[in-house]
Amino acid sequence: MNKMILTGLTIICLLVMMAVFAPFLSKYDYKEQNILERLQPPSAKHLMGTDEYGRDVFTRMLYGARISMSVGLIAVLISAFIGIILGAISGYFGGVIDNIIMRFVDIVLTIPTLFLILMLVVFLGPSIFNIMFIIGLTSWTDIARIMRAEVMKLKKAEFVDAARLIGLRNRNIIIKHILPNALSPVFVYMTFGISGAILIESGLSFLGLGVQPPEPSWGNILTAGKDYIHSAWWMVAYPGLAIFLSVFGFNMLGEGLRDYLNPKIRKENL
């Protein structure tokens, strides 16, 4: 197996296991406060120390992994759903339909993404579900363009012509014959998209516009830690490291998949 794929999968699996088994990996409640133990450094009792309210940082990091990973995955699934449908329709039918969809894509691309996200967050309100929806709604354009390019190539293939000759409907041709052969580059882009969504969620939470306390996310743990960076370094170091590892893991997986799915690179490595 490609070393980058293996490295990325290892990191991602560790983070997913942290998120899934959070209740079994810590004996504390992530909302449990103990002012008498506030700002305690890492120890055997509190592996990653405690925060300004005496909450166990390790516990909050575990539950924060649930939120950050969920936001990244669901947001990318939303953007992929929109992008795949619009890209496939645009690439297959071409002509006026293609022009309308691509001009809409161009309009969306002209809007600064950060400004659009902030505007939607203010309008809809900061919550984990709104964050998933907003990130997915603002990040589908690249997937649509990738899908359009793949479909435009595949619709000229002989197996597509054969499907038309036997009388299959356009919908069936797209779903059964074109999409299965066009999704490889989309899957690669989705891995990069998950890391991007995690960064956006962390940034929004850091600004106070993402997941709201006391619910933990790596971004709002980092926000709380910035006020204690000189006296409680662990409140900044651990969430920062988690964000770095998650982004690094998904990027490594994406790079590895891109190389593995590229026939030219695979032949060179043989």
Q: What is the pLDDT of residues 95-120, one digit of tens each?
A: 899 899 999 998 888 887 777 787 88
pLDDT of residue 244: 92
Mind listing the domains of the chain with CATH numbers? 68-269 (1.10.3720.10)
How far, in Å, CA of 216 to CA of 64, rounded?
A: 5
pLDDT of residue 81: 93
Cα four-point dihedral sign 102, 106, 111, 114: positive
Q: What is the pLDDT of residues 175-229, one digit of tens each?
A: 888 888 888 888 888 888 888 888 888 888 877 777 787 888 888 888 888 888 8
Task: Please list the helix, strand and coil fractions of the chain in percent, rounded to the nearest 5, in that order.
Answer: 75, 0, 25
Q: Residue 230 — φ and ψ, nearest 5°?
A: -85, -25
* DSSP designation for 233: T
- 83 has pLDDT over 90: yes
The least confident of 66-75, 184-193, 238-247, 260-269 is 260-269
E-strand spans in the chain? none
Q: What is the pLDDT of residues 8-25, one digit of tens each?
A: 899 999 999 988 898 888
- Please compute the mean of the pLDDT values over residues 144-159 and round it to a whole number: 88
pLDDT of residue 225: 86
Of residues 113 and 149, which shows the higher confidence score? 149
The helix-helix angle for 113-124 and 128-138 (nearest 10°) equals 150
Q: How confident is the model at residue 94 (pLDDT cuts 50, 70, 90)?
A: confident
Q: Residue 45 — φ and ψ, nearest 5°?
A: -75, -40
Find residue 50's DSSP bridge partners: 56
Cβ proximity of 179 and 84 under 8 Å: yes
pLDDT of residue 245: 92
Residue type, 124: L
Radius of gyration over alpha carbons of the chain, in Å?
A: 22
How far, in Å, CA of 18 to CA of 23, rounded?
A: 9
Report the candidate in 208, 187, 207, 195 with the shortest Cα–Cα distance to residue 135: 195
The token pair at 76 is 């990318």
- Please compute the mean of the pLDDT values over residues 145-173 and round it to a whole number: 86
pLDDT of residue 260: 78
